[in-house]
Structure 1
Amino acid sequence: MAHHGEQHYNLEQRFDFTAATKKSIMTVLVIGAIILGIGIILGMTGVGHHEEAGEAGGHAFHWYERLFANLWINNVFFTGIALVGVFFFAIQFAAQAGWSTPLLRIMLSMGSWLPIAGILMIASFFLTGHSLFHWWHAELFDPASPEYDSIIDGKGAFFFWPLAKGSFPVFYIARMVIFFGFWVFFINKFKQISAQEDQLGGTSHWFKMRSWSAYFLVFFAVSSSISAWDWVMSIDTHWFSTLFGWYVFASWLVTAVSVITLITIFLKGRGYLEMVNQNHIHDLGKFVFGFSIFWTYLWFSQFLLIYYANIPEESVYFVERLTSDVYGPFIFVNLGLNFFLPFLVLMTRDAKRHGIFLKVVCSILVVGHWVDFFLMVQPGTLGHNGGIGFMEVGMFLVFGSAAALVVLGALSKTNLIAKNHPMLEESYHHHI
């Protein structure tokens, strides 16, 4: 196909991850680590803790449990962003989309965090699981014990099969290992096919990528939902929501698309991706806008059904959050940052085409959805001993900057643009 006067686009460009950029990210990491350190010291000395009974979940509260909860929140949050980046990549092939061709490598590079995320997740589960997950306490499954819990006992096999309930959660850990194993396998497969396409051209790689994307999407549908139940919903073991997998996915999705948008704008600002025009940016803005509303719809569906059925075992989830001095205000922060703000700011066509609006909204959404995960995890693990303080801010900065280093590093190792992608020409002429 002749490129009608399109020769001036540099298709061989690579992202140069400069020392200056690395230094800025490292600076944030160090600042985060210092803030985290301050948080840990304050926690150890008991400053800023309002322990009414000194109890959380029926046992004495220790500062390191808050550290563990933060480790877990950030692990789940950043794993999801990386995973959904790859999901969004696969969707482009499943949908035979052409407009997004110059952005494919950004989506794929996000998956580079997953091998690290997998190691962190498995390690932190062994380190923190016993204090974070109430269901891992053996006495809950012993009918002779005063702690015996028939509801959790009924769910025991989901964690411990084929071993005895309350022993070692083999089934749970097996799921975690299998999910990460397959996710990393698929990412490597996608990277391999991308590299071959860059070298050899032709359409065969596109068809190959399309079928691998289909397999990935089927596996993703099952694994992302089950991991949401495992990693987040099982914290509140008595409570369950049939919509929860969707809800967590929606939160990850908004954040991942926000991150894709931020990286795209960052690269454009550095003079890369000349073929990405206002129309591509507008499309990303529409996705951010649309998925924010989708997330709100799921949040509200879950809330409304539980609210009007008013069954105690369901409503306990919202009661312990809404009536809490610690978490109550954050419910409104959550809705404000993740729904009202993007809805009102990105409503107009112009706002979706403006880098500055998108930068602000997408940055706020990343923080906002972190708050969403904070609200899912902390009340069930820490009771009233949680909150957002130095520890939370520090851990978020450490994780965020570490993930940024990994993702941008991966982005700099290969061509920035899929130069032999059969739909590149279509993307040049993308206009909405």
Structure 2
Amino acid sequence: MGNHSHHHSYNFDERFEFAGKAKMFSIIAVVVGLAAIAFGLLSSEHVIVERTYANLLLMGYYFTCVCAAGAFFCALQFVTQSAWSAGLIRVPQAMASILPIASVILLVICGLGLTTHNLYHHWNADGLTDPNSPNYDALVAGKSAFLNVPGFLIRQVIFMGTYSIFAITFAKLSYKEDLEGGLTSYKKSFKLSAIFLVIFGFTTPIWSFDTIMSLEAHWFSTMFGWYNFAAMWVSGISVITIIVIALKKAGYLNWVNENHLHDLGKLMFGFSIFWTYVWFAQFILIWYSNIPEETVYFYKRWEPEYKPWFWLSIIINFVAPLLLLVDRDAKRKQNSMLFVAIVLLCGHWLDYYIMIMPGTVESHRGFGIIEIGTAIGFVGLFVFLVMNKISKHPLAAKNHPFLDESLNHQI
């Protein structure tokens, strides 16, 4: 089992206290967000209302993806029997635990996006599938067996419901292990993780086809699911990194050191490259083949108001982590890792922005209070829920079979 003498210097029952400034700022952020959303939804201008819904979808999807990435992280650690992460597993567990809340929020946004304010008007509008209608659209009609409102909502409920059940179970089993010790919880987690990863792997592409790709229902890309998965995974790793560093700066998690940070840095670095690879593959094949029904997607994104953002997204999400994390020492320093993680979260916000806006907001696209306010609100809500969850349990999974290995982890 390794060296037990390490145990004496750490207090594995320590708990994070969520109070004071952190709690106040997260609540203020939520209020700011609600104000910005109300401002947008109550506007007399149709276009501003449309923009607000698009921003709600962006942040609702982002929030849910990050929580789902937490569940994926936990499952991945079990299946690969990784020891390095045992000391910080409480962080992704807490993210996974709030997946049901994120899912309900996203479901409500999608429900509203289908009904009161039609975000999905490319496939969900009157007469699109009726051959006798002037609105008839043969392409959309051909996809209607899949793209229809009941199917869309049922899939959303099944996917997010399934992810949520697994996510909560992983956290529950880990807390149970704290109390009971033994290997029962670990073995259950291992089995459930294997099942979860298969389900998650096959359904997340479909989930992103529904939620995001169908906003532009004529266009499709078989790379889109992996592209969204890569964005979700990089964002999730970045959030885990930020929370771990924030806890360390507040004097917690003493057993997590620069070796663990280095591992998170390698994941951020590697999967930012993977995200770029998928982005590039999707883009270059469409550019090279030059088929009108495919290029229309990028043509829209090359309009003057998007083109700079389109290229900035690649610079932030690829060039920044490449240059800032390629150095070994950078991955081992709290401040440089914190900086890159925040840059990547902004970068992937921009990435989702470019995926969502051109297909949903037709004209007079602005940038301002609605975008910034909605983002601040969701960040506040995320911080409040996750930190609250983290504070409810000890910060160390003290009976985790690999905890000793994690403490002595060196790279």
The CA RMSD over aligned residues, in Å, is 1.5
1:217 to 188, 193, 197: 197
SS in 2 for 1:385: coil
Provide, for residues 356-393 of structure 1, a one-character-per-residue CA deviation record: whole Å limited to 9, x for no partner.
Answer: 11111111111110111111111001133334321111
Check 1:373–1:387 CA distance in 2 against 1; reply closer, same or farther (3 A cut).
farther
Q: Which segment drifts farther, 4-13 or 413-422?
A: 4-13
Q: Which residue of 1 aligns with 2:63?
A: 78
Mapped to 2, the partners of 1:8 and 1:223 lie a distance apart of 44
Is the contact between residue 326 and residue 384 of structure 1 (CA under 8 Å) also seen in structure 2?
no
Check 1:5–1:290 CA distance in 2 against 1; reply closer, same or farther (3 A cut).
closer
Displacement of 1:40: 5.8
1:132 aligns with 2:119: yes
Displacement of 1:431: 0.5
Displacement of 1:203: 2.0
Q: Which segment drifts farther, 325-334 or 248-257?
A: 325-334
Identity %: 42
Letter of the 1:179 partner, please give it.
F
Provide, for residues 104-151 of structure 1, a one-character-per-residue CA deviation record: whole Å limited to 9, x for no partner.
Answer: 110111023321222222222222224111211131111111211101
Question: What are the ranges of 5 or more consecutive residues in structure 1 without an aligned counterpart?
Answer: 47-60, 161-168
Mapped to 1, the partners of 2:41 and 2:364 lie a distance apart of 14
Provide, for residues 177-210 of structure 1, a one-character-per-residue CA deviation record: whole Å limited to 9, x for no partner.
Answer: 1112111211221122112210111123211111
Displacement of 1:350: 1.0
Q: Which residue of 2 aligns with 1:346?
A: 325
Question: What are the ranges of 5 or more consecutive residues in structure 2 without an aligned counterpart?
Answer: none
Letter of the 2:313 partner, please give it.
N
Letter of the 2:275 partner, please give it.
W
- After TM superposition, the runs of 4+ consecutive aligned structure 1 residues lying more than 2 A away are 27-41, 383-388
Mapped to 2, the partners of 1:132 and 1:226 lie a distance apart of 18
**What count of residue pairs does the alignment treat as equivalent?**
407
Check 1:215–1:149 CA distance in 2 against 1; reply closer, same or farther (3 A cut).
same
1:252 aligns with 2:232: yes
Displacement of 1:36: 4.8
Mapped to 1, the partners of 2:27 and 2:351 lie a distance apart of 26
Q: Which residue of 1 aligns with 2:99?
A: 114
Is the contact between residue 230 and residue 274 of structure 2 (CA under 8 Å) also seen in structure 1?
yes
2:158 to 178, 192, 198: 178
Counterparts of 1:80-95 in structure 2 under 5 Å? 80-95=65-80
1:144 aligns with 2:123: no
1:197 aligns with 2:177: yes
1:284 to 252, 264, 283: 264
1:374 to 304, 328, 353: 353
Q: Which residue of 2 aligns with 1:416?
A: 395
Q: Which residue of 1 aligns with 2:223?
A: 243
Is the contact between residue 40 and residue 391 of structure 1 (CA under 8 Å) also seen in structure 2?
no
Is the contact between residue 39 and residue 389 of structure 1 (CA under 8 Å) also seen in structure 2?
no
Mapped to 1, the partners of 2:98 and 2:187 lie a distance apart of 26
1:356 aligns with 2:335: yes
1:427 aligns with 2:406: yes
1:232 aligns with 2:212: yes
Check 1:5–1:428 CA distance in 2 against 1; reply closer, same or farther (3 A cut).
closer
Letter of the 2:174 partner, please give it.
S
Counterparts of 1:303-342 in structure 2 under 5 Å? 303-322=283-302, 324-342=303-321
Displacement of 1:28: 2.6
SS in 2 for 1:10: coil
1:16 aligns with 2:17: yes
Check 1:200–1:328 CA distance in 2 against 1; reply closer, same or farther (3 A cut).
same
1:208 aligns with 2:188: yes
Normalising by structure 2, report the TM-score: 0.95
SS in 1 for 2:67: helix
Displacement of 1:37: 5.3
